[in-house]
Structure 1
Amino acid sequence: MRKGTRYGLLAGLALLLAACGGQSGSTGGGGGSNPSFTLSLNPTSRTLQQGGSGQVSVSLTRQNFSGGVTLSLEGNAPLATSPAPDKIAWSFNPNPATGNGATLTLQLGQNVPPGSYSLTVRGQAQGLQDRTAPLSLTVQPAPTQGSGPSLTWTTVFPAYDVAYGNGVFVAVRDAVLVSPDGQNWEAVRLPQPPKCRELDRLSFVNGRFLALDMCGITIWESSDGRTWTVHAFNVQPSSPKPSELTRIVFKDGTYYTMGRVSGYVTNQGPTRAGWLYSSQDLTNWTKVGETGPLDNLSSQFIPSDLAFGGGYFVVVGEDLNVDAGVALVSANGQTWTRVATGGMELMRVLFGNNRFVAIGFRGGGGGIALASPPNDPTGSWTSLTPPDVPSYRRLGLAFDGTRFLTASEGKIWAYDGTTANPNYASLPRYINDGHGIAFNGSQYVFMGDGFASSPDLRNWTTGFDTNYPGAVTYGNGKFVLSVVDYPSAIFATAAEGPFPAWRVSDPTPRADIDRLAFLNGQFVGVGQSGRVYLSNDGNSWNQVSTPSTQSLEGVAYGGGTYVAVGLSGAIVYSGPNNPTSWNLASGTNGEDFFGVAYGNGRFVAVGEAVYTSSDGATWTKQTGPGFINDVAFGNGQFVAVSGDKIYRSTDGVTWQTLTPPPSPVIPNGRVALGRIVWTGSFFIAVGGVSEIFDGHAYIITSTDGQSWTLQDTFFLNESPLDIAVGNQYALAIFRYGALVGRLP
């Protein structure tokens, strides 16, 4: 073959390949310079139950193409574009997708057949080849409706981050709270749980509240704190995707956030940097710049917070190379310069009075506070008198128009940004830390272990005294709680309602109180060293001694007798209707007891063994179930719970063993029931369900103790410690908060 002919054929082949986009049987990205796009999904599989809903993030990677992409869903499932009982309704937002992503929402009808389905997301653009991405969907049966009612449950605490805007205070964490004045709060139940089951890093920018779900990297947007829109974080480039985001700031019509990204340098270990992203719509984000290259081991910066003001971005965090907190500044978001170093980590930064102030903590204890020069954060930053920070903890930072405010260890630090020494004020006793701080021009709100408001930082109204409850009961129109005031306990009360904000009623330190009950017209508490506490109103308490020195774990009343049970076989009983005089019972063999109930003319004590007694004085061991956590009596029967088992008995001697319903969120998880209560018409049992690193609250109800209705509490990642029932509401308490259910 002649040389010219061979070269001509090769050139023609190259032109032909170029015209075809350089592809051969691929549904991925285009080649060469031809317009193209690809699709990717996150996650690529979803498990939903009948009647449930879920979302999937769709990312578009574009090449020389900016037009709209029409998205659709297909596959071997009963799909539809509008809801129906036997269909899976789907929709994309936006559609067509004009940016770098969209959100697919799936709404399952109650009668969609359970099973596994193979779905395909298809993207179509005029003149371009269709692109597809696979999606696996597993449909699980809806929980079987048992004999108990389905209650509406709402988390009421904790909420650490707080912001003010559009006439309301909004606070978030496990709970979402809204208040017009910082004193009267409403708990909001979200339409779907965040993946982390909590929201974080709240800010108010551009007329809206923005919070982050760090597990799913989603952005939650609301104008009033009650109605929220969820935005998927679709980012270009799509890899590496950030593991966390800072608070969102707003500049010249554009939102900005900094993500924490990681990379690897051959086999020498990971590198870390902050990447600044921008967005017009809170869904589609584009990389603006980075604090350091990921191909260099010297890049070891972990961002914590971002602020903008005076024409500059400032980000603070930790540099792992020098094990110190650092502040970086940039005018354009692309080129970053280190301007300050101090402590172990700088956690918060804020702009006000034409300067930035940053706070953090030092290794081994102690805080740090730094201030930039006015109007020029690229200059030398000065040290301020640091707040007391005994160890790593969340710190709030706010600007009230004049001063920067932070709080720790029960004290408020107020900096003007110029003077090194701050002014001081004190928080109410049980608030302790100001994890979140907000100001509306006339009222300060501090969120910490509890929360409080003040017009002047001197006169306080507490809204919630400490979020460390230990036990709870209900009587005389109020909830009564023991709350942890380490190393002892104190008493608090809360009016019954949708937001039972408890306040300390008796601040006298007591031994740990393990159980509370309202029996025969008075409140009774039992706890360590065989102690019993009595109160007529939940406010004033008297301590009573018993013959036992063991920790008492449960208490009941029946037939004119009070009975308390505890560890190492301890059972004590009172004289006739006299809880101030106690006697030691006989017949036990040293087993630990955790609960006791009275019904059908007898007491039943449970724990490492089951014992029964007709008078509380003499006890007989039964051959029934082994270890049991708690027992209640109602509807003519005793019902007990222990881990993943439920037991029923009419006499405490013969027991039926039942299995609680599985959780549709963690179907293979281990159920651990710990408490049970009779409401007067049905039982409520509480506990948790977990599987390796995932877990959440687990609550079930039943009228007959045999068939149980699983409650929708999948948004909580903590197990209840105790539960009490009022006339209108049930209150379940956690080590760090509370959950309220409206009774039918």
Structure 2
Amino acid sequence: MKKFLVLVLIATSLQFSNCKEEKDEPDPLFQLLALQSLLTSKNIFFNRVRYLDNKFYGVGSGGQIYVSADGDSWTRISLDTNQAINDIGYINNRFTAIGNSVHYTSADGISWSDISSTFSNTTFLRSLGNFGSTLVAFGSRNIYTSTNGLSFSSGVSLGSSLFPAYYESASNSNRMVVVGAEESNSASIKVGSFVSIFLTFSSNGVTGLSSAKQLLGIAYNGTRFVAVGNSGNIYYSADGLAWTAASSGVTSTIRAVVYAKDQFIAVGMSGLVLSSPDGINWTSKSSGSTVELRSVAYGNDKLVAVGRDTILVSSDAGNTWVNK
């Protein structure tokens, strides 16, 4: 009887051991999917996407730049910094990338050199914009201008409050319009033009924004400026001075806007996409994503929108989007 009991216990123990080994054995399919996810993960918080010199450039956290000629295949470039890159611009056959306190230049968009020392005060530069033959870097109170993308000169102060924040610009032949916020998160628009050799900004003559919240994006289609921002705010103007509110139909933050294929395309929180033929009447589109879309660009007959670890591409004017 004892011999039989011992054999039963041994058999049971072996059976339990075999079951445990089978349970702990990794699933090959799970391992393959995990490896695929690791290899394809972008691991970047995109701040901006631009279409420059016939290529898309997406910039963001960890000094990363993603480059694509067609919007479908992307190459990652890592700068020698852990700081986020806030924007990228192009002038006179040269690229410029800016962060809060680090700034780079490149002749080909691949090899980059640090030019932070050319800025007298490099704090909180958020955006780059073109005004004629001048590249303008701005963000907080200080602005910098360059005609070659390599050396920058300080300009007249942009902000009047202690901590202004400006995020984006658009220009016509006469003026450069920048959007952001001043005190109490209230919307602010500054209009710039050259006085002698200095690019000077002012809010004099700007009307129609008395109840507006912070503005984050702006685009120009040749006849009309459109600005977007917090709380679903959208404003339009023919001259950059007199602004009128439009109904977006949403209350969430709209982060950016671009003009493409005869319409304005705006993107924002939770995968928000809006379109309008005139900047006044807006229609909601489905992006198929719930990620906050922080920037949008148009080029090569495609729209590209970016967010956290996300690149969305549309080839049909924003009606359908594919996650790359």
Aligned to 1:601: 174
Counterparts of 2:91 and 2:277, CA distance in 1 = 22
TM-score norm. by structure 2 comes to: 0.76
Aligned to 2:193: 614
Q: CA deviation at 1:686?
A: 0.6
Amino acid at match of 2:233: K
Amino acid at match of 1:539: I
Instruction: Write the mapping of 1:186-201 to structure 2, written as runs, cut at 5 A.
Output: none
Counterparts of 1:544 and 1:641, CA distance in 2 = 32
Aligned to 1:102: none
Counterparts of 2:299 and 2:242, CA distance in 1 = 31
1:481 aligns with 2:110: no
Q: CA deviation at 1:657?
A: 0.9
Instruction: Write the mapping of 1:209-288 to structure 2, written as runs, cut at 5 A.
Output: none
Aligned to 2:68: 494
**Contact 1:599–1:637 (CA under 8 A) maintained in structure 2:** no
Q: CA deviation at 1:722?
A: 1.4
**Contact 2:291–2:310 (CA under 8 A) maintained in structure 1:** no
- Does the C-alpha gap of structure 1 residues 586 and 736 become closer, same or farther in structure 2, counting only changes over 3 Å? closer
Deviation track 1:214-252 (CA, whole Å, cap 9, x = no partner) reads xxxxxxxxxxxxxxxxxxxxxxxxxxxxxxxxxxxxxxx
Q: CA deviation at 1:547?
A: 2.3
Aligned to 1:503: 75
- Does the C-alpha gap of structure 1 residues 659 and 600 become closer, same or farther in structure 2, counting only changes over 3 Å? farther
SS at structure 2 position matched to 1:580: coil
Aligned to 1:734: 307
- Does the C-alpha gap of structure 1 residues 647 and 727 become closer, same or farther in structure 2, counting only changes over 3 Å? same
Runs of 5+ unmatched residues, structure 1: 1-372, 387-396, 407-433, 438-444, 452-463, 663-669, 689-695
**Contact 1:492–1:538 (CA under 8 A) maintained in structure 2:** no
Aligned to 1:276: none
Deviation track 1:7-41 (CA, whole Å, cap 9, x = no partner) reads xxxxxxxxxxxxxxxxxxxxxxxxxxxxxxxxxxx
**Contact 2:219–2:257 (CA under 8 A) maintained in structure 1:** yes
**Contact 2:87–2:98 (CA under 8 A) maintained in structure 1:** yes
Counterparts of 2:265 and 2:70, CA distance in 1 = 18
Aligned to 1:657: 245
Q: CA deviation at 1:483?
A: 4.4
Q: CA deviation at 1:379?
A: 5.0
Amino acid at match of 1:532: H
Amino acid at match of 2:144: V
**Contact 2:91–2:133 (CA under 8 A) maintained in structure 1:** no
Counterparts of 2:48 and 2:88, CA distance in 1 = 6
SS at structure 1 position matched to 2:200: coil
**Of 459, 471, 484, which aligns to 2:48?**
471
Aligned to 1:646: 234
Counterparts of 2:275 and 2:136, CA distance in 1 = 26
Amino acid at match of 1:613: G
1:581 aligns with 2:152: yes
Q: CA deviation at 1:684?
A: 1.4
**Contact 1:476–1:537 (CA under 8 A) maintained in structure 2:** no
1:532 aligns with 2:103: yes
- Does the C-alpha gap of structure 1 residues 721 and 619 become closer, same or farther in structure 2, counting only changes over 3 Å? same
SS at structure 2 position matched to 1:614: strand
Amino acid at match of 1:677: V
Aligned to 1:447: 37
Amino acid at match of 2:122: T
Q: CA deviation at 1:504?
A: 1.6
- Does the C-alpha gap of structure 1 residues 506 and 628 become closer, same or farther in structure 2, counting only changes over 3 Å? same
Aligned to 1:682: 263
- Does the C-alpha gap of structure 1 residues 482 and 656 become closer, same or farther in structure 2, counting only changes over 3 Å? same
Counterparts of 1:517 and 1:503, CA distance in 2 = 18
Q: CA deviation at 1:674?
A: 0.9
Counterparts of 1:655 and 1:502, CA distance in 2 = 39
Counterparts of 2:193 and 2:180, CA distance in 1 = 18
Q: Which has the higher contact order (CA 8 A, sep 6+)?
A: 2
Q: CA deviation at 1:720?
A: 0.3
- Does the C-alpha gap of structure 1 residues 501 and 581 become closer, same or farther in structure 2, counting only changes over 3 Å? same
Runs of 5+ unmatched residues, structure 2: 1-12, 182-187, 318-324
Amino acid at match of 1:479: F
Counterparts of 1:536 and 1:711, CA distance in 2 = 38
Aligned to 2:321: none
Q: CA deviation at 1:631?
A: 1.4
- Does the C-alpha gap of structure 1 residues 577 and 379 become closer, same or farther in structure 2, counting only changes over 3 Å? closer
Counterparts of 1:554 and 1:507, CA distance in 2 = 18
Report the structure, 1 or 2, having the larger strand content.
1
Q: CA deviation at 1:604?
A: 1.1
**Of 119, 143, 157, which aligns to 1:571?**
143
**Contact 1:572–1:584 (CA under 8 A) maintained in structure 2:** yes
Counterparts of 1:739 and 1:510, CA distance in 2 = 25
SS at structure 1 position matched to 2:281: coil
TM-score norm. by structure 1 comes to: 0.35
Q: CA deviation at 1:648?
A: 1.0
**Contact 1:554–1:595 (CA under 8 A) maintained in structure 2:** yes
Amino acid at match of 1:469: F
Amino acid at match of 2:242: T
- Percent identity between matched residues is 23
1:711 aligns with 2:282: no
Counterparts of 2:278 and 2:138, CA distance in 1 = 26
Report the structure, 1 or 2, having the larger helix content.
2
1:542 aligns with 2:124: no
Deviation track 1:118-149 (CA, whole Å, cap 9, x = no partner) reads xxxxxxxxxxxxxxxxxxxxxxxxxxxxxxxx
Counterparts of 2:19 and 2:285, CA distance in 1 = 56
1:399 aligns with 2:24: no
Q: CA deviation at 1:579?
A: 4.4
**Contact 2:91–2:149 (CA under 8 A) maintained in structure 1:** no
**Contact 1:571–1:584 (CA under 8 A) maintained in structure 2:** yes
**Contact 1:469–1:735 (CA under 8 A) maintained in structure 2:** yes
- Does the C-alpha gap of structure 1 residues 578 and 516 become closer, same or farther in structure 2, counting only changes over 3 Å? closer
Amino acid at match of 1:642: G
Deviation track 1:551-603 (CA, whole Å, cap 9, x = no partner) reads 11111112221112112x222222x4454222132363132211222214111
